[in-house]
């Protein structure tokens, strides 16, 4: 049981390059999320998904796209990277709140540190 995994752990891009971050979970969670963490800003939600084949925008979706073709995977894409997208990206998954027990929460991956030059 690996929980939530993220690939890659580190990446350096040049402005204008594209890349995809992969998130995988093995807990059969319905919900998956992508966040970015910047100094002094906390975690901000980029996009989320409430089930296979569905995605929705979060607080800061501009410049990112996502896909959830399989229940266990949630991909985050940057089509044309910008220095403002330098950040630490966290993926998370959870049961739906209605299904969750009192001790359930989002389970986070280890994070991906992305630098855009």
Partner 1 sequence: AQKVTQAQTEISVVEKEDVTLDCVYETRDTTYYLFWYKQPPSGELVFLIRRNSFDEQNEISGRYSWNFQKSTSSFNFTITASQVVDSAVYFCALNTGNQFYFGTGTSLTVIP
The answer to whether the beta carbons of residues 104 and 94 sit under 8 Å apart is yes
* Residues 6 or more apart in contact with residue 103 via CB below 8 angstroms: none
Q: Work out whether 43 is an interface residue with partner 1 (CB under 8 A).
A: yes
Closest to partner 1 by CB, 14 vs 98, is 98
In this structure, the number of other CB atoms found within 10 A of the CB of residue 109 comes to 24
**Candidates 21-29, 60-68, 73-81, 100-108; binding stretch for partner 1 (CB under 8 A):** 100-108
**Is 74 a residue that touches partner 1 (CB under 8 A)?**
no
Which span sits near partner 1 by CB under 8 A: 17-25, 61-69, 75-83, 104-112?
A: 104-112
How far apart are alpha carbons 35 and 44 in whole angstroms? 5
Which one of residues 24, 106, 114, 116 is an interface residue with partner 1 (CB under 8 A)?
106
* Neighbouring-strand partners of residue 37: 43, 88
16 touches 30 (CB < 8 A): no
Residues at the site binding partner 1, with contacts judged by CB under 8 A:
31, 33, 35, 40-45, 48, 50, 56, 58-59, 88, 90, 97, 102-108, 110-111
């Amino acid at each position: 049981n690996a929980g939530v995994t993220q690939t890659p752990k580190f990446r350096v891009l040049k402005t204008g390059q594209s890349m995809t971050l992969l998130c995988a979970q093995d807990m059969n969670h319905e919900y998956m999320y992508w966040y970015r963490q910047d100094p002094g800003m906390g975690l901000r939600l980029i996009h989320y998904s409430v089930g296979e084949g569905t995605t929705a925008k979060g607080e800061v979706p501009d410049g990112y796209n996502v896909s959830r073709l399989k229940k266990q995977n949630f991909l985050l894409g940057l089509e044309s990277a910008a220095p403002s997208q330098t950040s630490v990206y966290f993926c998370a998954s959870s049961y739906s709140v209605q299904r969750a027990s009192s001790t359930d929460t989002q389970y986070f991956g280890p994070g991906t540190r992305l630098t855009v030059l």
